[in-house]
């Protein structure tokens, strides 16, 4: 299968086709993924986001990978919903060090009626700063989705996590169909979708392929596809899971790029365990988005200065927001990244 044919947007991928991509010789797969990537993106630009936990711990879901689940004793301190002003202060810091998107995550099964007004004010405030806005709040109903869209939310993150077949082995408190319904509400409300999954939970190659098929065969591809490598946290049922082979992880990124040519494929959780060479290979495979800063909700992430040092060595520049992609704005972002101070400037809300 040529790279030119796979650059065409498709929504009818079969398991046999996707598995055939996975089992190609490694160099052939990466060449195909890089060719598709260059047809749709600047190969030396990476979108930069910051993620903040606005409500930490005590989640009623039983996701086996998650330290925030109230079902497991991981030593994580519970925190109530952050005050709106504190969230806006963190967003300002994120913008100062070069992030173009500010993502806010709450450990909820679904947002409550009493919390929604505060959540909406967070969206409005971050949006007013000129940042793209993203939230992950769990399951949404139609009214909540429409309210978020009206407030100015750009992206909603709701990961499928794994294949429909393996899902029940990881989560029992929410169904796969509920996740898909939330994604449908988000799309119908006019927002962009951020949805991906996790490698390293004991899934098979078929499960990895079927996860990507679920995403690629949606009526519209998610604009952002985070690919996470399991961060094993003591106290969770997956704390002793087998490590993911680095080449298998890169293959996942490459296949995601081929299946969803116009989506941003995000190198997400697990980057702390990746050396610079693996991250460079991930960018070559088509990853063009990262979370930037010291934490991803509750787990470690490479420090911002290390990311920018790696970007400089690879000749990568941060991607500007589309609506502000003029030379002056881009230069300001790049200068802020060069002149950033130490990680003490960065948020500590999700310790």
Q: Which residues are catalytic?
A: 59, 63, 66, 103, 134, 194, 266
Is 266 marked within a binding site?
Answer: yes
String of DSSP letters for 164-181: HHHHTTT-SSS-HHHHHH
Is 257 marked within a binding site?
Answer: no
User: What pairs with residue 114 in β-bridges?
Assistant: none
Q: What is the CA radius of gyration of the chain?
A: 19
Is 194 marked within a binding site?
Answer: yes
Is 63 marked within a binding site?
Answer: yes
Contact 40, 262 (CB under 8 A): yes
What tokens does 134 get? 């993203």
Is 208 marked within a binding site?
Answer: no
Distance between CA atoms of residues 226 and 246, nearest Å: 16
Residue 180, CA distances (Å) to 185, 245, 256 in order: 9, 29, 19
What tokens does 275 get? 């050396």
Which residues neighbour 324 within 8 Å (Cβ) at sequence distance 6 or greater?
130
Task: Return the exposure string of 100-134: e unless at least 16 CB atoms fall within 10 Å of the residue's CB, then b.
Answer: bbbbbbbbbebbeeebbebbbebbbbbbeeebbbb
Is 59 marked within a binding site?
Answer: yes
Is 313 marked within a binding site?
Answer: no
What tokens does 211 get? 């996860």
Contact 3, 240 (CB under 8 A): no
Residues comprising the binding site? Answer: 59, 63, 66, 103, 134, 194, 266
Residue positions forming the annotated binding site for [4Fe-4S] cluster = 59, 63, 66
Residues in the annotated binding site for [2Fe-2S] cluster: 103, 134, 194, 266
């Amino acid at each position: 299968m040529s790279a030119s044919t796979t650059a065409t947007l498709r929504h009818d991928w079969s398991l046999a086709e996707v598995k055939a991509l996975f089992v190609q010789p490694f160099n052939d797969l990466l060449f195909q993924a890089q060719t598709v990537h260059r047809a749709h993106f600047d190969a030396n630009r990476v979108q930069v986001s910051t993620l903040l936990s606005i409500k930490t711990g005590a989640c009623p879901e039983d996701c086996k990978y998650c330290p925030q689940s109230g079902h497991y004793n991981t030593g994580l301190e519970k925190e109530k919903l952050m005050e709106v002003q504190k969230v806006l202060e963190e967003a300002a810091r994120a913008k100062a060090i070069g992030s173009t998107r500010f993502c806010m995550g709450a450990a909820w099964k679904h947002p409550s009626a009493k919390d929604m007004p505060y959540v909406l004010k967070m969206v409005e405030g971050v949006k007013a700063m000129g940042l793209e806005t993203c939230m992950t709040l769990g399951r949404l109903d139609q009214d909540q989705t429409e309210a978020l869209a009206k407030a100015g939310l750009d992206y909603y993150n709701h990961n499928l996590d794994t294949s429909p077949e393996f899902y029940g082995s990881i989560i029992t408190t929410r169904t796969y169909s509920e996740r898909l319904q939330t994604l449908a509400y988000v799309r119908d409300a006019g927002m962009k979708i951020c949805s991906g999954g996790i490698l390293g939970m004991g899934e098979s190659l078929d499960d990895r392929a079927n996860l990507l098929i679920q995403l690629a065969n949606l009526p519209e591809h998610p604009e952002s596809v985070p690919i996470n490598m399991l961060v094993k946290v003591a106290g969770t049922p997956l704390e002793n899971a087998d490590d993911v082979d680095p080449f298998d992880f890169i293959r996942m990124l490459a296949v995601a790029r081929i299946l969803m040519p116009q989506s941003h494929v995000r190198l997400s959780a697990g980057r702390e365990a990746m050396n610079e060479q693996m991250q460079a290979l991930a960018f070559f495979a088509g990853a063009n988005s990262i979370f930037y800063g010291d934490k991803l909700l509750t787990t470690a992430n490479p420090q911002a200065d290390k990311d920018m040092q790696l970007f400089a060595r690879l000749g990568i520049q941060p991607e500007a927001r589309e609506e502000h992609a003029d030379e002056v704005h881009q230069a300001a972002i790049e200068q802020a990244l060069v002149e950033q101070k130490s990680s003490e400037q960065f948020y500590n809300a999700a310790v």
